[in-house]
Amino acid sequence: MANIPQTVSIGLVNLSDNPIIIMLTINLLLLFVGTFMDMTPAVLIFTPIFLPVVRSLGMHEVHFGIMLIANLCIGLCTPPVGTCLFIGCGVGKTTIAKVTKYMLPFFGSMAVALMIITYFPNVSLWLPVQTGQLKSDEIDASIKIWNQNIFGTQSDPSKEPLKSSDGKSLVGGEQKSGQLIHSVGDDQIVDVTVLGTPNSLVPVSPSNGN
């Protein structure tokens, strides 16, 4: 029972190789949960489950929080346990059956807004950056990683010379088992790429005979 969050997270990651499908699945699950569960317990239960998944895709934590709350807020306006919907019907002295058909266009608008919030972090994170709550450099780097993983907008590493931490070009690279191995003098430097994001350059000992 203690490993349920990790099991669900692994299942989501293994669900599809397409990060767009993974994010769409998370949105659908949160929308479903929001229709019958109150916001506070939903946040406490599902944040530790979904946060590791979205982090692996390059999503910023604040971006995920905005997406999570947007999903659950939509649930407050939808049956069967739409708290805001019941309050509105009580104030207007009407029934949910009469109101629902007029709510359908608004449900569609909320769904479109949710997709924009999910896949375009510039929209969600613009205000926190402008008010100084988040550092612009950090957000720009996060958005770049997100766009690379979601939309595949990354440059071809074979067309751009890689550089080490001291600014020297790394030449003579070859690709082995998903890693770019570059020879610099008698040393080799491995550029490990995880989910389209280059990590630090790690020097390794040259193998014999190579």
Higher pLDDT, 2 or 194: 2
Please check whether residue 93 is in contact with residue 52, taking contact to mean a CB–CB distance below 8 angstroms: no
pLDDT for the residue 120:
93
Residue type, 128: P
pLDDT for the residue 25:
92
Handedness of CA 202, 180, 205, 186 (dihedral sign): negative
The predicted-structure confidence for 91-116, as pLDDT tens digits, reads as follows 988 888 888 888 889 999 999 999 99
The predicted-structure confidence for 58-102, as pLDDT tens digits, reads as follows 899 999 999 999 999 998 888 877 788 888 888 988 888 888 888
In angstroms, rounded to a whole number, what is the distance separating the alpha carbons of residues 66 and 54? 13
Quick one: average pLDDT of 158-187? 42
List alpha helices for the chain, DSSP H: 4-13, 19-34, 39-56, 61-75, 83-92, 96-119, 121-130, 136-151
The domain segmentation of the chain, as residue ranges, is: 4-151, 162-204
pLDDT for the residue 2:
62
Q: Which percentage of the chain shows pLDDT scores above 90?
A: 28
Residue 179 pLDDT greater than 60, yes or no: no
In angstroms, rounded to a whole number, what is the distance separating the alpha carbons of residues 46 and 68? 9
The reported pTM is 0.67
